[in-house]
Amino acid sequence: MRFAARLFQEDGWWLAEVPAFRGAVTQGRTLEEARKMALDLVVLHLEDCWESGHKVRPDRTLPKAEGWEWVELPLRTLTAMQIRHERRLRKLTMHQVADLIGVAPATYQKWEDPRRCNATLETLEKIARAFGSVLEVNFRKTA
């Protein structure tokens, strides 16, 4: 999943604007910091959208003008967000899911953290079973 972002410098700061989320702008002291902040911005907005049930469509094309680049969400980020979303749909606490799977709550917590998720396929299968679901893995063509 990726979103177009316009990165530009203004008054000594690097700004990152993500039009997919109306009014979403962040900043950094360096271009690299602005890129990291743009990723955090996208994650926060996606979490809000998932919580509220709003549909968000990733961008399909990148504007050809100067300063535009992709903010691409790592798979671990999407995985963590989906785990959290599925748990909340079922009105379970992190502790309850950890107990169902047989792991420490701190271990389970990591799997819902978009920056730290390192769940293996075996772990994802256990989580899916705890949610009364099955794990699906798909391959599809890239855009």
Q: Is the dihedral of CA 122, 124, 127, 128 positive or negative?
A: negative
Q: What pairs with residue 17 in β-bridges?
A: 6, 25
Phi, psi (rounded to 5 degrees) for 2: -145, 155
Cβ neighbors of 56 (< 8 A, separation 6 or more) are 20, 21, 45, 46, 49
Q: Map residue 107 onto helix, strand or coil.
A: helix
What stretches of 48-132 adopt beta strand conformation (E)?
68-72
Model confidence pTM above 0.75 = no
Q: What is the pLDDT of residues 26-45, one digit of tens each?
A: 999 999 999 999 999 998 88
Place 143 in a pLDDT band, splitting at 50, 70 and 90. low
Identify the pLDDT of residue 139.
Answer: 87
Place of tokens 């709550």: 105
Which pLDDT score, from 0 to 100, does residue 117 have?
A: 92
Residues paired with 72 in a beta bridge: 2
Which residue segments constitute the domains of the chain, with CATH numbers given?
2-72 (3.30.160.250), 75-130 (1.10.260.40)
Place of tokens 């390192």: 118
**Tens digit of each residue's pLDDT (9 = 90 or more) over 53-80:** 777 788 888 899 999 999 998 889 989 9
Long-range contacts of 24-28 (CB under 8 A, 24+ apart): none
How high is the mean pLDDT of the chain?
A: 91
